[in-house]
Structure 1
Amino acid sequence: MALKTKWLLSKSKSCSCTLVGVYRSLAFCPGVVVILHGPIGCAHVASTMDLGASFRVMADGGKENRETIPLVSSHLREKDGIFGGIDRLSDCISYVMDTYHPKCVWIVSSCVAGVIGDDIEQEAKAAEASYGIPVIPMPFAGFLGGEYSDGYYQTTEMMIRRFFRKQKHIKGRVLLLGDQMGPEGQYVREVKRLLSRFGLTVKWQFPGHVPFEAWKDIPSADFSILLGTVGQPGGMMKIARLLEDTYDVPTLGDVYPVGWERTKDWIRALADLLHEKERGEAIIKEEEARIDHAASSFLPVTEGKNAVIGIGRGPRWYHPQETIARIERLHLACSGIVFFDNLTEDDKKTLREEIAAVGDIPIYDSREGQAVMDACDILLTTNEIYNTKARQLFIPMVPLTGTEGEIAELRAMYRLLCRYGKKGGVAYVTV
């Protein structure tokens, strides 16, 4: 029987346009209003992204209600595509000013507005003169000007260049750079917890989560920490360097507490920045003890069971070392690793080298691997498998953060092994 997997599409660029990126970089900044100059469906796309993010945060135990800033569409119609829609934009600006009384307005253009040549820059200039508040045009023209990350990072850079001011740095004040599901997401909650162990507090998470009136004060941060994962494009690092060069706000650098081994690297980098190396090692020792304590409570169920790893993501997105380490921590036997057909030959070569560096683990192709997977007690897989009765645990696209994330992944493996019988199905890691 042929192995049937659920494919995951991965791209080097996102599948959303610039206007959504602009909105996302401002979405939780009180005092701001974003006008999308385009068809109303464009605003729907942006608001749907917010809804999905809210559900994810709720699943991670965060707050259910996160109030976003007003997102207003100029609602270009078919006839506006022929005769021009600048009057619609002018009316929309008047409506926003009368209804929301904003402190700052951002106008971003859609593909349609770009094609018909509506001059949002001139309209923004006139509105700023009339109303006496900043009105910032972002004339990306939807996909014509790039994709999501272009809108996100260029808006962030515009905020810094126009609104930030030199400030005296306040010791111990930390600035987080990036989103990662916002302040209520698992990533940020865990980063804040780890920072608190050094006596540090997070003042702001930028962009997207700072009130407009506080933007000018952000350069008072002692240093910045990037939120992200290894292998991501370097857009946020560019922002960190801009803050460092312009406002003397140093950054922790391109290191992320994603997966336990990288969490240890992150703690050590932070300890070096703070000149508290001994304290950093003590924290690592205590956090590792927490993980070991949790793992020991799972051993009565996990010890001696048989695990298989299924890999269908290339090394840009997945490295097996952390998964193998979790298998060893739970005293499971790793009977093999199965390469799925959607891996390229270069992917397989890199993964073989990474696996060989860890230990002598059998590697199977998808045809050989079917029987191996069917016989295992737990299948840790990057892709959902249709035709197997093995208990499957879907390996997160992005490993969870820090100690809490490591314990959550171990707990998910334990709970799956507690299930009675082998009836297939897929389980997911939750905090």
Structure 2
Amino acid sequence: MPLPTQERRLVTAIPGPRSQELQQQRDAALPVGLGMTMPVFVDHAGGGILVDVDGNQIVDLASGIAVTSVGAADPEVARRVSEQVERFTHTCFLVTEYAGFVDVANALNRLTPGDHAKKTALFSTGAEAVENAVKIARVHTGRPAVVVLGHAYHGRSLLTMSMTAKNVPYKEGFGPFAPEVYRAPSPYPFRWPGGPEASGEEALAALKDLVVSQIGAHHVAAIVAEPIQGEGGFIVPPPRYLAGVADFAREHGMVFVADEIQTGLARTGAMFACEHEGVVPDLVTTAKALGGGLPLAAVTGRAEIMDAVPAGGLGGTYAGNPVACAAALGALDTIEKQDLVGRAREIEARVLPRLSALVGPDSVVGEVRGRGAMLALEFVRPGTTEPAPDVAKAVAARCHAEGVLVLVCGTYGNVIRLLPPLVIGDELLDDGLSVLESAIAAENG
């Protein structure tokens, strides 16, 4: 199918009649626990456009939550997937092997930060990757405890749900949770009690005190952190904070795990977000953009740590599925050949000034932040830092009605995050931003 024309076009109200009909079928067949952001059903997509079943062309500023960084129908991904499907769809790599698994591992060993010897294990989802990183760290260190940050999001499985900070909707009613998970304060500059300048140093001191005085450093297997917090609100850590955490971890024999599931593979204007801080993690988890739209995840790390788990201790029936590996090789090829790292920096340079102009003492926008094509606006009561989740929701609804897909996030539900495909064109991006600006202006009155 040819790429959709790269323009926003509404032929019905959002949602249209066919989407409404399908929504009724969904409501009858699916549990309410499966949430929904924009009630449209997609027929096809590509570049920066989603085309729904009613023919509406919607500007995609979400990328399936940072998954379709190369677009939702990248030709190289589609070609490789088609060829692989014709050969075979599954064998289970733990039963009979195939080259695609090894090729993806070699690519990640090359691309992740650091020039040390590395090894990679593939899985299916981001939560699986984080769980396996913890498993590997526990075996390597012989220790049980895991330290995470406030406002963190790491997944929906039992362990990763325990590691996730936000209660509703991710944890409410699902306890009891996994033991030996401890939470240190997140350096959230916009909301740090001592002010943004003090956030990094004070948060690092609090983490060290938690580990040394309350847990015992000799009990801690790993510190797991997102280099930029995703669901928590696109919180960018202060300079030197991540490096301080990594140094502290190594000083005490702990494994530093960078959860790059949302930030990795060009999204922030570096291949991995840790690179902005000059940090080399012991283990890196990837997913989302890795599979080009197919489910694939990975743990990549120091060879001696990765080799701590004996044969049979890692894996899964679908881990590193051959079709998903083919998609990943296509996505990685596109990311490198089209310099999507550079494109993410161009998107930041184009978008950030327009968003920053929306901040002011009389504005509902309290702060704009992010890196590359991972940008966000935090909504507040004007002149305060009081969260305004109703405003974020209203702005998102206005954008959706005009055919621009944006996502709400944040611990307080008051952040709109922008995750456009890295292949989006400037004209389409500008159009989507204009709709967002108009929606905010309406809320500012």
TM-score normalised according to structure 1 size: 0.27
Specify the structure having the higher radius of gyration (Cα): 1
Question: Whose helix proportion is higher, 1 or 2?
Answer: 1
TM-score normalised according to structure 2 size: 0.26
Highest RCO, 1 vs 2 (Cα 8 Å, sep ≥ 6):
2
